[in-house]
Amino acid sequence: MSMRWKLFWKGWDMTLETLGARADALKQEIAKTVQGQDEIIELLLVALFSQGHVLLEGPPGTAKTLLARSFASAMDLQFDRIQFTPDLMPGDVLGASSFNFKTNAFVLTKGPVFTQVLLSDEINRAPPKTQAALLQAMNERVVSIDGEDYDLGREFFVIATQNPIEQQGTYPLPEAQLDRFLFKLNIAFPPADVEMSILQRHATQSLDSRAETKGTAKVLNAEELAESRALIDSIILEDEILEYILKLVRATRNDAEIAFGVSTRAADALAGAARAMAALSGRDFAIPDDVKTLFVPAMRHRIVLGPGAEIEGRDADQVLENILNQIEAPR
């Protein structure tokens, strides 16, 4: 069996079938509390296994926070949450050093960023300086405090939520931080039948909101996550897939409706996500449909639309879908 299909390393016996079983177990546990968001959950898994971070956007009441909490509850990983507010300071996120007069030395008080899964709730309600405090942590999985670097570990995974910009009391995320998110996932209100199902289920449950995730089993630990990521790392993209990604990315830089296209970092992130999606689909190779599925959620937050698109009332998704239709996929 080839390296792509099976991984033997440090005693691991890891296959695509094992990875698929773990992903299915995660989906089943999350579905116990969150309904009607199968596509969003699938992309959350792609981000987790490809070491990316996710930004969830939607109006209040669309279960963004519940989805993030349910996702974290299904994993045996350390979890913490930051509720972003206008008065939140960078030190409230990262932590700070203070002088201990008893020991005559500085002592670090770690902030909530020192965890494995971090929920950054309503991140666009904090001012840009505080939002940017997460930047280094997301990019390097390292935090610098008073000139000292502190490692956060390879498991560090950020799920951030935000309300749409048109909601009062919000601040746009800095462009540099947006680029650190692998996906921006838009969550809308569910269809009527799903909404009715949610109401029926909640009508028989405790009114305690904390009870929603109490029955969630932990089906993935840090070692299993490392195994899964190592298997995905063994998947190699063919040149025709890389060329397809490159054509799509370069098209964003030449499109008349886009003022600023995406970077090489965005292309690299899309390629990594395609490897994860291939593995989660039970394949040791990526196909053009993997790239098509991931292109819009991976790029919608990275482009800046030009005045022409804004005048025509076209959003980022429509412009990116048009690029997908223009660029021929390999056969």
Give residue limits of the domains in the chain. Answer: 10-201, 235-331
Distance CA 245, CA 324 (A): 10
Q: What is the DSSP letter of 167?
A: S
| pLDDT tens per residue, range 295-307 | 999 999 999 999 9
Close Cβ partners of 145 (under 8 Å, ≥ 6 residues apart): 94, 95, 96, 97, 108
User: Sign of dihedral through CA atoms 63, 65, 71, 73?
Assistant: negative
CATH of the domain spanning 10-201 = 3.40.50.300
User: Do 10-201 and 235-331 share a fold?
Assistant: no
Distance CA 41, CA 225 (A): 17
pLDDT above 90 for 290: yes
The pLDDT of 255-269, averaged and rounded, is: 95
**pLDDT at site 208:** 64
pLDDT above 90 for 5: no
| pLDDT tens per residue, range 93-114 | 999 888 788 887 778 889 999 9
CB atoms within 10 A of CB 145: 17
Name the pLDDT band for 262 (thresholds 50, 70, 90). Answer: very high
User: Sign of dihedral through CA atoms 317, 322, 323, 329?
Assistant: positive
Asked if 113 contacts 158 with a C-beta cutoff of 8 angstroms, the reply is no
Name the pLDDT band for 212 (thresholds 50, 70, 90). Answer: low
pLDDT above 60 for 4: no
pLDDT above 80 for 211: no
**pLDDT at site 7:** 47
**pLDDT at site 209:** 56
Distance CA 323, CA 118 (A): 34
Asked if 86 contacts 169 with a C-beta cutoff of 8 angstroms, the reply is yes
Check if CATH label 3.40.50.360 holds for domain 235-331: no
145: nearest Cα among 209, 215, 211, 98: 98
- Average model confidence (pLDDT) for the chain? 88
The pLDDT of 162-176, averaged and rounded, is: 77
The token pair at 241 is 């897939």
- Give pTM, 2 decimals: 0.89
The pLDDT of 253-268, averaged and rounded, is: 95
Q: How many angstroms from the chain centroid is the CA of residue 200?
A: 30
